[in-house]
A = this chain, B = another copy of it.
Amino acid sequence: MRRLINNPYDVVEEMLEGFCKAHDKHVKLLENDGRVVVYKRAPVKNKVGIIIGGGSGHEPLFLGYVGENFADAAVIGNINTSPSPEPCYNAVKAVDAGCGCLYLYGNYAGDVMNFDMGVEMAAADGIRVETVLVTDDVASSANIKDRRGIAGDFFVFKIAGAKAATGADLDEVKAAAIKANDNTRTMGVALAAATHPSTGKPMFELEEGLMEIGMGIHGEPGVRRGKLQEADKVIDEIMNHILPDLPFSKGDEVAVLVNSLGATPLMDLHICFRKVAQILEQSEIKIYRSFVGAYATTMDMVGMSVTLMKLDKELKELLDYPCDTPYCVIK
Contacts and interface: CB of A to CB of B under 8 A. Distances in A.
A23 B269 CA distance: 13
A299 interface: yes
A15 interface: yes
A21 interface: yes
A300 interface: yes
A214 interface: no
Interface in A53-69: 56-57, 59-60, 64
Contact of A268 (B5, B22, B256): B5
Q: Please name the 9 residue pairs, one residue from A and one from B, whose CB atoms are nearest each other, closest first.
A: A18-B274, A18-B270, A263-B263, A59-B266, A329-B329, A18-B273, A22-B290, A265-B299, A4-B268
Given A14-B271, A197-B267, A265-B297, 8 more contacts: A1-B228, A2-B228, A4-B271, A21-B274, A265-B300, A324-B331, A329-B331, A331-B331
30 contacts: A1-B208, A1-B228, A2-B208, A2-B228, A2-B302, A3-B265, A3-B268, A4-B191, A4-B231, A5-B230, A5-B267, A5-B271, A14-B270, A14-B271, A15-B271, A15-B274, A21-B287, A21-B290, A22-B273, A57-B267, A59-B267, A59-B270, A262-B265, A264-B300, A265-B297, A265-B299, A265-B300, A294-B294, A300-B302, A331-B331
